[in-house]
Amino acid sequence: MTDDLQRITLLDEDGQPHEFSVWDAIEVDGEQYLLLVPVESGDDGEQEEAYVFRVQAAGEEGEQVLIPVEDDEELARVARALEAAED
């Protein structure tokens, strides 16, 4: 993983911060998605699992929130789109 990837910090359910690198961004069916990888991954030579989040508008000021994708069908659509973009 390169150091020039954008990094963001997300808070878990307990309010603990976790830093992620934005590995990829893609639009699928009119929705924007981010593929995030924990910054800690790769420190020991092993690749951690990547997480897919849907970017959703919130509030009147155009703020954006990240919603974890947990639906298997939605996750499969995003995975297919990411694979197609790599070809």
The full DSSP string for 7-37 is EEEEE-TTS-EEEEEEEEEEEETTEEEEEEE
Band of pLDDT at residue 59, cut at 50, 70 and 90: confident
Residue pair 55/68 in contact (Cβ under 8 Å)? The answer is no
Q: What percent of the chain has pLDDT over 70?
A: 86
Residue pair 29/77 in contact (Cβ under 8 Å)? The answer is yes
Element spanning 80, H or E: helix 72-86
Q: What percent of the chain has pLDDT over 90?
A: 63
Backbone angles phi, psi at 50, to 5 degrees: -95, 155
The pLDDT of residue 87: 76
Residue 69 vs residue 45, higher pLDDT? 69
Going from N- to C-terminal start, the domains of the chain cover 7-86
Strand duo 63-68 + 51-58: pairing = antiparallel
